[in-house]
Amino acid sequence: MKRKFAVTTLLSAILLFSQAGNSLAVITPPGFPSCVNPSGTQIANYDSGLHGIAGTTSEYRGRDSVYQVTSETLTQCFCPESGDTGIQTNWLKVASISEEDLQDLKNQGWSYIPNGSLWGLDQVGYVAKNQEYACRAGGTGGGVLGASTLAGTGTTMASKIATIAGGVFLIGGALSLFYVTIRRRNKNK
């Protein structure tokens, strides 16, 4: 009976640990051009006005330009009315994506936008990630139009680390139990 329990525990721990290992495969998003020297086809340009930035609930005043880099990627370049630090938003179309892959992207700082049409894009899901850049004199900017956001919530790598730690703990416990069972069996012989 104890042997069956030990074997079952060991197999369960191995299965759990192997699943935790599979979750470490991290999505690598494509590269994006910098707004310092944007490339692609400019699809929107606004010299002034109120703009939304994906992943935030704030409204921003300034210049905004959007560049279609590929059929799946866009770059939004926003420069504020005052100051020279702009916000570059990289947009990646994710018409269909698994929950695990989406969570990987969120863990990397991407926000999920379930419907791009609210931002002047195709009516499919996108992920967006912001970074700062230095605006040129006179600024560069663009127009993913949404002034409100449907930003997703992300988690940190802590959940993956906890999964791995739990798997290691279970394996350690199973191995200890297995060792004690074998040792007792050998003593009884």
Least Cα distance to 76 among 104, 55, 57, 97 occurs for 55
What pLDDT is attached to residue 14? 52
Residue 103 shares a structural domain with residue 37: yes
For residue 142, what pLDDT is reported? 42
**pLDDT in the model for residue 107:** 94
Co-location of 44 and 67 in the same domain = yes
Structural contact between residues 105 and 30, judged by C-beta atoms closer than 8 angstroms: no
Contact 74, 94 (CB under 8 A): no
Using alpha carbons, select from 113, 134, 131 the residue that is nearest to residue 122. Answer: 113
Are 133 and 88 in contact by the 8 Å Cβ rule? The answer is yes
Q: What's the pTM value of the predicted model, to 2 decimals?
A: 0.61
Q: Residue 22: in which H helix or E strand, if any? A: helix 2-22
Co-location of 123 and 184 in the same domain? no
Element (H, E) at 68: strand 59-68
pLDDT score, position 136: 76
Domain span holding position 179: 1-26+156-189
Position 83 scores a pLDDT of 83
Domain identity same for 40 and 133 = yes
| End-to-end CA gap in the chain | 17
pLDDT at 176: 57
pLDDT digit string (tens) for 44-89? 999 999 999 999 999 999 999 999 999 999 999 999 998 889 999 9
Low-confidence ranges of the chain (pLDDT < 70): 1-25, 137-189
Give the pLDDT score at 147. 34
Inter-residue contact 65 to 76 (CB < 8 Å): yes
Residues 117 and 177 in one domain: no
Which pLDDT value is given to residue 28? 87
User: CB of 123 within 8 A of CB of 115?
Assistant: yes
Say what the pLDDT of residue 9 is: 55
